[in-house]
Chain A
Amino acid sequence: MEPVFDLTIIWAVIIAFGIIMYVLMDGFDLGQGILFPFAPSEDARDVMMNSVAPVWDGNETWLILGGAGLLAAFPLVYAVFLPALYIGVFLMLAGLIFRGVAFEFRFKAKTSKYLWNWSFAIGSTVAAFAQGAVVGAYIQGFAVEDFSYVGGALDWLTPFTVMTGFGLIAGYALLGSTWLIMKSEGDIQAWAYRITPWLLIAVLVVFALVSVWTPFVQASVAERWFAGISYIWLFPLLALLCALWLVRSLHQRRDGSPFVATMGMFIFTYLGLIASKFPYVVPPNYTLWDAASAHESQLFLLLGLLFVIPIVLVYTAWTYWVFRGKVKAGAGYH
């Protein structure tokens, strides 16, 4: 029986949605960790942490959904990426562990507080780097034979992936600083306003480098971009427009817009990346359809998700609403 819809495409959209949700949401809270060592005061650190403490766990759940969703809909991706990025995945998980426990431990610590400051900062930065490197590795492609990864343990670690790793650190830091502009006030906000332009410059530099470098790393990508003018150029253009909007809103001291503009930059860059690779999910050889799970499995899960995901979005939005508004310096923990 031929299915009416191509489930695989629907699933690709769902997974892509899950990933960008994760990047945006955990991005700003990882960003707090990346900026942690540079914060002007311990009070500022309290505010930074309090601004994300009620929501970080929910944000990270999108990562788990990404993992489980890939296993369900595109098992080949799950079964190739994880072995290929074995060491990187470990580093990311270790980073997430250290930063996750820091939320609880830091507020219960007295003399050992500095330890959890570092745990939060290093953990977040390592996790961000590892995730950036994953993106780079995906652009590079993997050595796969017979549906299994056959490369070495550190094949993923190249100058290119190191750069994408640092790029994502800068990107998350930017999300973090614009989030802080929205959630804080007074000195802390002033500090966030000061650092944001520098972070934006760092992000734009990486953006330019990746754009120039990618075609050399992957010929197929080059072809897609340079074989005549195509719609694909729209994405970087829109991303740059968002950057301009960010600059303007910083000038006008609009508390909310910088964060929204940064999210826009992320979304359009992400769409550009997808467009460069589509439909390859395990580059260079396997497409979405090669990687897909059985039709009935995709369908079984889809039926549930259509029902459950809207509910999840509603109560997630509700928790953000409960914790809306500025976080005051000195306001306590639970």
Chain B
Amino acid sequence: MEFDPLLLSRIQFAFVVSFHAIFPVFTIGLAAFIALLEGLSFKTGDPKWGRLSRFWVQVFAVVFGMGVVSGIVMAFQFGTNWSIFSYSAANFLGPVLSYEVVTAFFLEAAFLGVLLFGRGKVPQGVHFFSAVMVAVGTMISSFWILSANSWMHTPAGVEFRDGLVFVTSWSEAIFNPSLWPRFFHMGIASFLTGAFVVCGVSAWFILRNRDRDVHRKALSMSLWLILFAVPAQIYVGHSHGLNTFEHQPMKVAAMEGAWETKTNAPLVLFAIPDQANQRNRFEVAVPGLASWLLTKDVDGEVPGLNEVPRELQPPVAIVFFAFRIMVGIGLLMLFFAVTGLVLRRKQAYASTPWFLVGLKWMAITPFIAVLAGWFVTEVGRAPWLIYGVMTHSEGLTPSLTGGMALFTLVGYIVVYAFVFSAGVYYLLRVMQKGVPSEAEVAKESSHQRPKRPLSAADADWEEEQTDGGKA
């Protein structure tokens, strides 16, 4: 049997990058939250903050670890499966990715060590500073990688000679036309992910009546963030759409399910796109709304997919549904954000069971929205790898056979499935254990760590173990 290396490489890339993406979106938001908690703890000395911070650092450590190892894979994926693409785009991508390493990854890695292991070895202020540096590192990292990615969507500041990219203007290439909308959309998505997970976990603890007062604090803080971030995300998402409408109209046509160029174009709420027949089935649409949203004029012209030949159309159904999933989740988030505000009075947000149960389940939605969003972005670019310049098949590694690609694809799936299950299992364990008590925190800060035979937290692990054994 013959395997198609192109298809397998695309599946592989989509799989490994999606797997990787789950972790950064969470760690970026959580790193900022931890830095905030450390700051509050440093400033007020209130043990509440120290307890929360210790708890979330444990979660962070697991997630960050998985983010790092899956990220290392990404750094080599370009070369293994897309060597022609790497070679031609190297003059731009190489420096940008290298800047990411030296300005962000080293910063994150070095200060992560101090954040995780430095309590008691460095003054508290330095520990707080390390938390801030980790958070800053994650933001810098997303800037560079999104610059590289945005450039593939809206290439600028370069010229192509003999199949190679040559940079003519670094600022135009780095700050390419879709960078800012993408950076802010992704940045807010990260904060939303962090916030919704913190909300969900806090709600879970409150529902179980464990350490209510600390978790209520965390819940309240993240609900405030959500209240402002969700509307901002919807606004930025809309501007992002307008930006795409200008630069990649076929992607927008796929998101809208628009087959024909129309004025007074309807906004399709639901349909089943049928690419073979170039039309929608079971369409439910609001007349004129798409034109109005995209051109601010109900009679504005919205180009349809039939502007380009079939082989230059992206796979419409994936883009279409992924877009609706993302926007649907965005609206759901808006509902919770507003409800959280309504329930502010008398702190009802921490005592309304349905709201807490709802938040618990909302904790996974940002991950789904983020992946759906990336599917819109990336599948919508197809068949282009560098928009308008190089297609997927042109960028593929020539020596790659279907068998090799299949071998590594299956390999990654197996490895990631294993790592992911273990990660989830240990995260549940961290949650089971809960927030350290005030006494534990006090004991820990009054001692110098290395002089102590057994740290308080670890002793607890062992006790739990014996208890568990007996029970």
Contact of A101 among B92, B419, B452 (CB under 8 A): B419
Contact of A86 among B80, B90, B398 (CB under 8 A): B80
- Evaluate contact between B122 and A322: CB separation under 8 angstroms: yes
Q: For residues 112 through 155 of chain A, which have their beta carbon under 8 Å from a beta carbon of chain B?
A: 147-153
Q: How far is the CA of A76 from the CA of B84 in the complex (A)?
A: 10
Contact of B453 among A71, A89, A301, A330 (CB under 8 A): A330
- Evaluate contact between A300 and B100: CB separation under 8 angstroms: no
- Evaluate contact between B102 and A308: CB separation under 8 angstroms: yes
A312 within 8 A of B: yes
A7 within 8 A of B: no
Q: How many residues of A contact B (CB 8 A)?
A: 74
- Evaluate contact between A79 and B84: CB separation under 8 angstroms: yes
Task: Knowing A58-B109, A304-B102, A319-B114, say if A83 contacts B411 (CB, 8 Å).
Answer: no
- Evaluate contact between A71 and B422: CB separation under 8 angstroms: no
A97 within 8 A of B: yes
What per-residue 1/0 map shows which CB atoms of A41-60 lie under 8 Å from chain B?
A: 00000000000011101101
B444 nearest in chain A by CB position: A332
Task: Knowing A101-B69, A148-B83, say if A308 contacts B103 (CB, 8 Å).
Answer: yes
B415 within 8 A of A: yes
- Evaluate contact between A90 and B408: CB separation under 8 angstroms: yes
B18 within 8 A of A: no
Across-interface contacts of A65 in B (CB, < 8 A) = 98, 101-102, 105-106
Q: Which of B221-229, B235-243, B257-265, B455-463 contacts A (4 or more CB under 8 A)?
A: B455-463
A70 nearest in chain B by CB position: B94
Q: How far is the CA of A63 from the CA of B71 in the complex (A)?
A: 12
**Interface residue tally of chain B, by bracket?**
35 or more
- Evaluate contact between B106 and A61: CB separation under 8 angstroms: yes
Q: For residues 287 through 313 of chain A, which have their beta carbon under 8 Å from a beta carbon of chain B?
A: 293-294, 296-297, 300-301, 304-305, 308-309, 312
Distance (whole angstroms) from the CB of B412 to the closest CB of chain A: 8
- Evaluate contact between B101 and A109: CB separation under 8 angstroms: no
- Evaluate contact between A89 and B86: CB separation under 8 angstroms: no
Q: For residues 155 through 211 of chain B, which have their beta carbon under 8 Å from a beta carbon of chain A?
A: 164, 166-167, 170
- Evaluate contact between B415 and A83: CB separation under 8 angstroms: no
Add 20 more A-B contacts to A71-B78, A82-B86, A149-B397 (CB < 8 A): A53-B113, A58-B113, A65-B105, A65-B106, A69-B101, A70-B94, A71-B97, A78-B94, A79-B83, A79-B87, A81-B79, A105-B426, A109-B426, A110-B468, A151-B399, A293-B91, A296-B167, A322-B122, A331-B450, A334-B457
- Chain A interface (Cβ within 8 Å of chain B)? 53-55, 57-58, 60-61, 63-65, 67-73, 75-76, 78-84, 86-87, 89-90, 93-94, 96-98, 100-101, 103-105, 108-110, 147-153, 293-294, 296-297, 300-301, 304-305, 308-309, 312, 315-316, 318-319, 322-323, 325, 328, 330-334
23 pairs, CB–CB < 8 Å, chain A vs chain B: A64-B101, A67-B75, A67-B76, A71-B86, A71-B93, A81-B79, A82-B79, A87-B407, A90-B407, A94-B415, A148-B87, A150-B399, A153-B401, A294-B91, A300-B170, A301-B94, A309-B102, A319-B114, A331-B455, A332-B455, A334-B57, A334-B58, A334-B457
Top 10 nearest A-B pairs (CB, nearest first) are A72-B94, A332-B455, A82-B79, A75-B90, A54-B113, A332-B458, A71-B94, A79-B87, A100-B69, A58-B109
- Chain B interface (Cβ within 8 Å of chain A)? 57-58, 61-62, 65-66, 68-73, 75-76, 78-80, 83-84, 86-87, 90-95, 97-103, 105-114, 116-119, 121-122, 164, 166-167, 170, 397-401, 403-404, 407-408, 411-412, 415, 419, 422-423, 426, 429-430, 449-450, 452-455, 457-459, 461, 465, 468
